[in-house]
Amino acid sequence: MRRRVAASAAALALVAGGGVLAGCSSGYDAPSSADTPASPNGIEKLPAKEILTKSAAAMATASSVTVFGLTKEDDNGPEMSLDLTLGTGVGQGTTSVGGVPFMEFREVDGKMYWKISRKGVEAILGPGEASKAIGDRWVVAPIGTGDDDVPGPGDFGDKDTLLASLTQEGATASVTGTGEVKGTPVVFVKTSGKEGTATLAIQTVGEPYAVQVRGEATGNIDFSDWNAPVNVTAPAGAVSPDELIPQDAASG
């Protein structure tokens, strides 16, 4: 029993992150908060594939990014949101579904901490022992740990994996025009691959970072505050997945 609930907690954390991010393939927002105008980078003059290659390379060297998104799986589904600040080996963020907080996570010092709200657990597993054991409790595990039952929770807050997925390696691509997104000049590149169809807005000044990505789902994802400092504090009282259910409950 204890192992099954521990697995559910880790899986919920990953499902919340992966599902929301997948659904949010869209949006547009200004890049980092530079105080002086950035110089043109000329990327809009390149073929679509080369734009994506250069953008991917630039994002791979970025130290941090803030990600904010609002989306729906379909027109009738609840609105999902995420607000993430991701650095290299450090990050934090929250997700919500239908305006109800779902999950909060923090990554720091080689460990991933995550907390799923009791309402969030009940929405997935229903009320009962699992929601009482998992809901509103901080759980911690070393980054990259996990087995067949408990996936590594560090996958959720991985900046490099998220940014690499934006340009969809191997996808077909075409430039659909140029314009501005909240005052930032961008080039629009449409991609179509195994992750679906999306249109990226890539800034044409400074580094060619993604500013937004708009997919087929309703909603958007915005990227901002590139290379800003990321300060995260580990929460107190976190338990390991195997500690979610007391030993006496596990034997019942």
pLDDT of residue 27: 34
Strand order in the sheet with 184-193: 139-142, 111-116, 100-108, 91-97, 79-87, 64-72, 218-224, 210-215, 196-203, 184-193, 172-181
Q: Which residue has the tokens 């250069």?
A: 54
Question: What's the pLDDT tens digit per position in 55-114?
Answer: 999 999 999 999 998 876 666 677 788 899 999 989 999 988 888 888 899 999 999 898
State the maximum Cα–Cα separation within the chain, in Å, rounded to a whole number.
66
Q: Which residues of 192-208 are buried (b: 16+ CB within 10 A; e: fewer)?
A: eeeeeebbbbbbbbbbb
pLDDT of residue 107: 92
- Cβ atoms 9, 139 nearer than 8 A: yes
- Cβ atoms 76, 218 nearer than 8 A: no
Pick the closest to residue 49 from 211, 215, 167 (CA basis). Answer: 167
Q: Which residue has the tokens 């961008």?
A: 186
Taking residues 233-245, report their average pLDDT. Answer: 86
User: Which residues pair with residue 173 across a beta bridge?
Assistant: 191
- Cβ atoms 106, 234 nearer than 8 A: yes
Average pLDDT of the chain? Answer: 77
pLDDT of residue 10: 42
Sign (positive or negative) of CA dihedral 152, 156, 157, 163:
positive
Taking residues 206-225, report their average pLDDT. Answer: 85
Within a 10 A sphere around the Cβ of 157, how many other Cβ atoms?
27
Q: In order of start, what are the domains of the chain with their CATH numbers?
A: 2-232 (2.50.20.20)
Question: What's the pLDDT tens digit per position in 125-183?
Answer: 778 777 777 888 998 988 765 544 444 444 556 788 888 888 877 789 999 999 999 88
How far is Cα 125 from Cα 119, in angstroms, rounded to an integer?
Answer: 10
How far is Cα 135 from Cα 117, in angstroms, rounded to an integer?
Answer: 5
pTM above 0.75, yes or no: yes
* DSSP code for 72: E
pLDDT of residue 208: 97
Angle between helices 118-125 and 2-23 (to 10 degrees): 90
